[in-house]
Copies of this chain bind each other. A is one copy, B any other.
């Protein structure tokens, strides 16, 4: 991997938002107001605002899995920020022509670490920076509130980058010291890979940090989770209603599902639960 310091970022005008704010209150709407105020031509896409409060790992997981479906030149803002108001820094990551802005609390670790063994060899290295207070002053951000940096810092900052008035390399000095992720990456051996449940979708499917490539590398893979052994299948329809299965889902990760039911409820598992895949050659 070669660090690519010449900026490959050409703004597309698109900004995505990922938060734990929900949609009941006007917090997300107000962020959009500030984006439009600074960059009237911005096009804003909600990735999700239902990240589990204070679980940044979920936001990073979805960003790492979703950003390539957006045009190159997109700015991705993620605000899941248990430390808002403290002295935590602001992280900016540039990768494959996209820019990511988030609190430096481990949220962006899945983006930085990448999402697959093969991909890791091919892609450019991410460039990580800490946004400096000088940059915030330069774009006219005065004293932010203690509790709503999404509105007071991230929205104006993203607008400036999306408008092309602030280049990624101007955000701050490069660093290799971003806070690490909340979940260990999966641990691999010749015959087994062990990871964890990162998120649970609305259907109760358990999504893990185990990649398709990990699973495919094992002959006759079986999945161990919640005291059960599950076979790998291609789709939900390959088992009978009520049965559990494991599959590689449409985002390229190992998923534990229950046909026409909720695997999370049935297995009594939550985020962080361990999952392993082993080669069963007995």
Contacts and interface: CB of A to CB of B under 8 A. Distances in A.
Interface of A: 12-14, 16, 18, 22-26, 28-30, 32-34, 36-37, 40, 43, 45-50, 53, 62, 66, 69-71, 74, 85-86, 145-148, 151-152, 201-203, 234-237, 249-250
A151 B29 contact: no
Contacts of A86: 237
A25 B249 contact: no
A34 B253 CA distance: 20
A152 B46 CA distance: 19
Contact of A237 (B50, B66, B85): B85
A50 B36 contact: no
Contacts of A34: 69
A151 B71 contact: no
Contact of A48 (B25, B37, B146): B25
Contacts of A48: 23-26, 29
Which 6 residue pairs of A and B lie closest in terms of their CB atoms, listed nearest first? Answer: A148-B250, A145-B250, A33-B70, A33-B69, A29-B47, A24-B50
Given A16-B29, A45-B32, A24 B201 contact: yes
A202 to B, nearest CB: 5
Contacts of A235: 85, 146-147
A33 B71 CA distance: 7
Given A146-B234, A151-B250, A36 B71 contact: yes
A202 B49 CA distance: 12
B37 A70 contact: yes
A161 B143 CA distance: 34
Contacts of A47: 26, 29-30
22 contacts: A12-B36, A13-B40, A16-B29, A18-B26, A23-B49, A24-B201, A26-B47, A26-B48, A28-B46, A29-B47, A29-B66, A30-B69, A33-B45, A36-B70, A37-B70, A40-B43, A53-B203, A85-B237, A86-B237, A146-B234, A146-B250, A151-B250
Contacts of A29: 16, 45-48, 66
A50 B237 CA distance: 23
Given A36-B14, A69-B33, A85-B237, A202 B22 contact: yes
A13 B40 CA distance: 9
Contacts of A33: 14, 16, 45, 66, 69-71, 74
A151 B50 contact: no
A26 B62 contact: yes
